[in-house]
Structure 1
Amino acid sequence: MSIAALFSTDQQLPDHYLHMDEIEMKKRITDIKQQMGDRLFIPGHHYQKDEVIQFADARGDSLQLAQVSANQHAQYIVFCGVHFMAETADILTGKQQKVILPDMRAGCSMADMADDQQTMEAWEQLTSYFGDTLLPLTYVNSTAAIKAFVGKHGGATVTSSNAKKMVKWALAQKQRLLFLPDQHLGRNTAVELGISLKQMAVWDPIAKKLEYDGNRENIRIVLWKGHCSVHENFTTENIEQVRQHHRNMKIIVHPECTYEVVQQADLAGSTKYIIETIQNAPAGSEWAIGTEMNLVNRIIKQHPDKHIISLNPFMCPCLTMNRIDLPHLLWTLEELQRDHVPNQIIVDENIAENAKLALDRMLAQS
Structure 2
Amino acid sequence: MNPHDSLLGHLASRLSAHPENVATEALAFILRQNEYLRQAVLRFLEGLGVPPPQVVSFSAQQSEENAARPDLRGADKSGAPVLFIEAKFWAGLTDHQPVSYLRALPSDRPTTLLFIVPEARRQMLWRELLVRCKEGFQESAAFESERQSVAQVGPNRFLAISAWKPFLESLQSAALSQGDRVSSENLNQLLGLCTREDTTAFLPLRQEELSAGIGQRIFQFGALVDEVCESAVEQKICVRGPSGGSKLSYYRTVRLAGHDFYFYLSPWRWHTLAETPFWLEFPSDRNSWDDLLQALHPLALQSPPMILRDPSWRDTPVIPLHPKLGVEHHEVIQGMVDRLRNIRDLIPASPP
Return the index of the structure with the highest Cα Rg: 2
Q: Which structure is higher in strand share?
A: 2
TM norm. shorter chain > 0.5: no
TM-score (normalised: structure 2): 0.27
